[in-house]
Structure 1
Amino acid sequence: MLYAFENIAKHFKGGYFIHNLQFYEKGQKYGIDFFTNLAGFIKLCLFELISFSETPGS
């Protein structure tokens, strides 16, 4: 996953990375070695955070 972020940063310098991601209340089964919630995903990203939003309970 980090390799993918590095490639995006290298080949699309000056662009934007827009990602729509949903986490389930019961927890995530896959990829938990990378992140399990929005805060963990943001920490993992190599890009400057411009904005994010959460909709609790949906």
Structure 2
Amino acid sequence: MHAELTASLAAIDAALVRIVEGGYGVCLRRGEPIGRERLEARPAAELCIDCAREA
């Protein structure tokens, strides 16, 4: 449980950095926009749904 919370906090921190740097909502693998529905479901998502499925 502690590891899951730590991972969640790290993902949120990384998302906050992407917001500040202007890269929030952009897939880190493809460089394309992440779909709105995905970001609503997982606000800290780093990958679009297609890349997340491939991982």
Say whether the fold is shared (TM-score over 0.5).
no
Normalized per residue, which structure has more helix?
2
Question: TM-score, length-normalised on structure 1?
Answer: 0.30
Greater RCO, CA 8 A, separation 6+: 1
